[in-house]
Amino acid sequence: MVAPAVSTYLKSRARWSPFEIAFWVFAFATIWLFPGKYLILKDTAILALFALSLDLILGYAGIISLGHAAFFGLAGYVAGLLAKYGIINEPVIALVVAGAAAAALGFVTSFLVLRGSDLTRLMVTLGVSLMLGEVANRYSNITGGADGLQGVDIAPVLGMFRFDLYGHNGYVYCLIVLFLCFLLARRIVYSPFGLSLRAVKGNPLRASAIGIPVKWRLVAIYTVSAGIAGIAGGLLTQTTAFCSLDVFSLERSADLLLVLIIGGTGYLYGGLIGAVIYKFLQDWIANLTPQYWQFWIGLVLVAIVLVGRDRMQASVDAARGYATRLGARALTFSTTFGGTAPDRH
């Protein structure tokens, strides 16, 4: 009796809500709505994808990372080098390869990260990304060192869509990749595997007591997250035809945490909404004080913590619940009128 009830509950939870459909319809509508803003929209899409990858490990598995830029940067360089030396010219395949490289790094480093406390995790993730940065700097004959990787020539996507100067094709490409990765993440999160991750986050000891292989679940999600972060990094290199050492920087990882915290963790849309808000904030503040926008970013972080994330999360949840109720009401409204009309005559 219980099992069907649980499965119907889970299925209903995993169904697409009107809010989600509206979100993605709007996301794709931006292609035609804001034709002059492709560059910032593209950056937002990449940042959103990157934040989505962090949400998978932070929001669903509770792993704090200060070095997620390692995967972003590695894949960025892989994508750049593949294109520069003409090893794989097709951007889509190169992107998959770059993501796979990042996932492989994630798999290897996951064993280091899973040991020890939060502090040790912070140090190891940070150390890995800084080490990669040093390596990229060391082999400057391949990576271009501090000058960045130049002379990257990206072939047209699928042999048809060349990256143009206005960033139209680049943005569409990023948006489609973001959507596909989001579908993957959504599938993972609502699967039994995703549920077991939540159990692990809640209480690892109890989770292992009910037979969940805690360590391997964490390794798996860390690897997937690294892969998605890598795809984001690959996208950045492909759409800008450039890659520099700052892809590994601490600031990138710290900004990423901020993005995710603005949007809220643990419901997948946090990263996407956070990225939109963050980019607009950054754009707005950078216009006011070009040099000192970091100060305001810092102030936002401090304020968020002092106000309390749980309180903010509660208000976001309340707003979301309200929006879903509104959406559901609109839906029933349209079905009662649209659905019953043909029966009348």
Partner 1 sequence: MLTILFDGVAYGMLLFVLACGLSVTLGLMNFINLAHGAFAMTGGYCTVILVNRLGVPFVLGLPIAFLATALIGGLFERTLYVHVYARSHLDQVLFTIGLVFMSVAAIDYTMGSSQQFVQIPDALQGQFRVLGIGMGKYRLLIIAVCGLLTIALQLMLTKTRFGSRLRAAVDDQRVARGLGINVGAVFALTFAFGSGLAGLGGALGAEILGLDPTFPLKYMIYFLIVVTVGGTSSITGPFVASILLGISDVAGKYYVPKLGAFVIYAIMIVVLIWRPQGLFARTTAR
**Nearest distance from residue 172's CB to partner 1, in Å?**
34
At closest approach, how far in Å is the CB of 265 from partner 1?
9
The residue among 127 and 327 lying less far from partner 1, judged by its C-beta, is: 127
In whole angstroms, how close is the CB of 205 to partner 1 at the nearest point? 17
- The dihedral built from the CA positions of residue 199, 204, 206 and 208, taken in this order, carries a sign that is positive
Contacts of 94 (CB under 8 A, 6+ apart): 79, 82, 83, 88, 234, 238
Q: Give ∠ CA 242-164-238 in degrees, rounded to 5.
A: 30
Q: Residues in the site for partner 1, rule: CB under 8 A?
A: 58, 64, 66, 112, 115-120, 122-124, 126-128, 130-131, 134-135, 137-138, 250-251, 254, 257-258, 261, 291-295, 297-302, 304-306, 309
Q: What is d(CA 345, CA 341) in angstroms, rounded to the nearest whole number?
A: 8
> To the nearest whole angstrom, how small is the minimum distance from the Cβ of residue 234 to partner 1?
24
Nearest residue (CB) to partner 1, 46 versus 136? 136
Q: How far apart are CA 232 and CA 79, in angstroms?
A: 11
- DSSP symbols for 211-229: T--HHHHHHHHHHHHHHHH
Choice between 39 and 130, CB closer to partner 1:
130
C-alpha torsion angle, residues 307, 311, 317, 320 (rounded to 10): -40
User: 153 vs 310, which CB is nearer to partner 1?
Assistant: 310
Smallest distance, Å, CB 157 to partner 1? 36
CB of 142 to partner 1, least distance (A): 14
Q: Which is nearer to partner 1, 241 or 254 (CB)?
A: 254
54 or 189: CB nearest partner 1: 54
Measuring CA to CA, which residue among 83, 62, 119, 100 is closest to residue 240?
Answer: 83
